[in-house]
Structure 1
């Protein structure tokens, strides 16, 4: 059976996820008890400021019940705070605390250093290829998300 281009791309993208997990998220677990989902939520809050639970779900393309579980754990650790929207009490807003921002930056820096150590194993040519390819994948995925 001849695979279509779309099938090959889908298989490649599905394969990339566990590889990224092994190289980035798993070492992050040695640094902190924050899950990758927790880091995604904290990163969204750092980028966008205060967000509603619904908006966090939209940013991360995750269902609201999943976001609620992640946010509850972050609240327990004191990394995020939950407040009611002053204009609409039905809306719950989430914000990053000072403790959360400090820990997010620390974990991000340690994760970046860990990944840089792995990237140093590559040749100059491999680094250039990965630089171009990763930027292209990022741009295309952002384009896909904006079309949904």
Structure 2
């Protein structure tokens, strides 16, 4: 495929992401419904999908500086969302893991988001819904190849 086609696809995918972000996922609304700052939610989401990690690794992977990670971790511990523990292989390393409270919190956020999605797509006609379902399925398969 030539460069012009690749650039066009890249641009269309970018515009799709912006459109989803703007029209479907209202970040201001989501943040207001959540009592945690986005950086804290991002750290929780990371831990739930990657398992226990060293604090420095979380910071590196999420591009959050070490001085900024400390208050994030402190707040999440205080809220009961994560537990700290020493790495069994290196006592100098502090690791954190999500608690059941964190898992429940993110399940609730997921349910709210899915409910919002349901509200957004429910006005579509049956034909539009079928087409959307097919497109999502195709797009999901292709994105897994990236």
TM-score (norm: length of structure 1): 0.69
Deviations 1:4-47 (A, max 9, x none): 22112211222233333332252322321335554444344334
Is the partner of 1:94 in helix, strand or coil?
strand
Equivalence for 2:18: 18
User: Is the 8 Å Cα contact of residues 59 and 65 (structure 2) preserved in structure 1?
Assistant: no
Q: Cα distance, 1:118 vs. partner?
A: 0.6
1:100 Cα deviation from its structure 2 partner: 1.5
How does the TM-score come out when normalised to structure 2?
0.70
Residue 109 of structure 1: CA displacement? 0.8
The root-mean-square deviation of aligned C-alpha atoms, in Å, is 3.2
- Summarize the alignment of residues 132-143 of structure 1 with structure 2, pairs less than 5 Å apart: 132-143=134-145
Shift of 1:107: 1.3
- SS of equivalent residue, structure 1 residue 78: coil
3-state SS in 1 of match to 2:91: coil
Correspondence 1:2-13 to 2 at 5 A: 4-13=4-13
* 3-state DSSP of counterpart to 1:89: strand
Give the distance between the partners of 2:16 and 2:71, measured in 1 at CA. 24
Could you say if the C-alpha distance between residues 13 and 84 of structure 1 is closer, same or farther in structure 2, counting changes exceeding 3 Å? farther
What is the DSSP-based 3-state SS (H/G/I as helix, E as strand, rest coil) of the residue aligned with 1:84?
strand
Equivalence for 1:124: 126
Whether the 8 Å contact between 2:43 and 2:58 is mirrored in structure 1 is no
Match of 1:103 in 2: 105
Larger Rg: 2
Q: Which residue of 2 aligns with 1:46?
A: 48
Query: How far does residue 126 in structure 1 lie from its aligned partner after superposition?
Result: 1.9
Q: Which has the higher contact order (CA 8 A, sep 6+)?
A: 1
